[in-house]
Amino acid sequence: MKKMTLARVLLAGLMTAGVAMQAEAHRAWILPSSTVLSGDDPYVTFDAAVSNTIFFPDHVAMGVETVTATAPNGEKIALENASRGKYRTTFDLQLKEEGTYKIGVASSGLRAMWKDDEGKRHMWPGRGQQANDADFATAVPKNAKELRVSQSSRRIETFVTAGAPSDAVLKPQGIGLELQPITHPNDLYAGEVAKFKLLIDGEPAKNAEVVLIPGGSRYRDSQNEIEVTADNAGQFSVTWPSAGQYFMEAEYEDGKAKAPATVRSGTYTATFEVLPM
């Protein structure tokens, strides 16, 4: 599988969420303490970080200010007890309504990279900045050399369910690279096949590349990556080899961007819990 190039392109968007990625090995994730719950108004605790090792906080904490939680009825609900440490952020979520909740971070916008007359590289927006696309014309020189402009998006998501699962929060918004589950993300079992669909701006993300990594890689000699490619309908499937937490990252890029961009790209990241049979 080709290297994950979008980490560099989407650096600025991630930093608005308090994420500073310095190498391709760094991956951002939101990990729930449990994904399937019962009882009256249960709580879930989440860890959020960017790390070299999947689900082991060893690089930098994720900022909580742009993390949103969506209830089964579509309303945004407040995070509780949020705290940011050196390597990870934690927060709680009370599930007062039965159904499936979506927790995540999303960003999108124009990104530009170019060289000046002296060969020095520049990027817009700058590190840690959130740009307004309307500022592109004045922020990027009209005679910029080796100019690369992309319309990029990134999503980092996870899902939890209280009681019976629901589908309302799984509906795509038509912006950037999104996951449209065919198999419910909180109905995953070891040894069974799960099916998903990837969309880019509401259309099938043909041939999108996907990698899935089981948790616990800190204690293994290999990542045990599962690599798949979406078909022409944007669909792919995976047979879960064992129970546990899984990290998923999908990439997509094409030339169907709107001017002034020439490249349209997206990255989608999710965390799933696969239960034993």
From residue 277, give the alpha-carbon distance in Å to each of 163, 206, 248: 18, 32, 21
| 124 Cβ contact partners less than 8 Å away, ≥ 6 residues apart | 110, 111, 112, 113, 131, 136, 139, 140
Contact 242, 207 (CB under 8 A): no
Can you tell me the distance from the alpha carbon of 154 to that of 23, in angstroms, rounded to the nearest whole number? 17
> Domain 6-108+150-274: what homologous superfamily?
Macroglobulin (MG2) domain (2.60.40.1930)
The confidence score (pLDDT) of residue 182 equals: 98
What ranges do the domains of the chain cover? Answer: 6-108+150-274
Q: How confident is the model at residue 3 (pLDDT cuts 50, 70, 90)?
A: very low
CA distances from 33 to 36, 69, 82 (A): 10, 15, 15
Q: Rounded to whole angstroms, how far apart are CA atoms 34 and 24?
A: 28
- Single pTM value for the model: 0.85
Question: Is residue 8 predicted with pLDDT exceeding 50?
Answer: no
Q: How far apart, in Å, are the Cα atoms of 9 and each of 17, 49, 136? A: 15, 19, 16
Rounded-to-integer distance, Cα 2 and Cα 52, Å: 18
| Cβ atoms of residues 14 and 21 within 8 Å | yes
Tell me what percent of the residues of the chain surpass a pLDDT of 70: 89
Which among 40, 99, 106, 37 is positioned nearest to 73, based on CA atoms?
Answer: 99
pLDDT in tens, 71-128: 999 999 999 999 999 999 999 999 999 999 999 999 888 889 999 888 899 988 877 6
pLDDT (tens digit per residue) in 151-201: 889 999 999 999 999 999 999 999 999 999 999 999 999 999 999 999 999
**Taking all residues of the chain, what is their mean pLDDT, rounded to a whole number?**
89
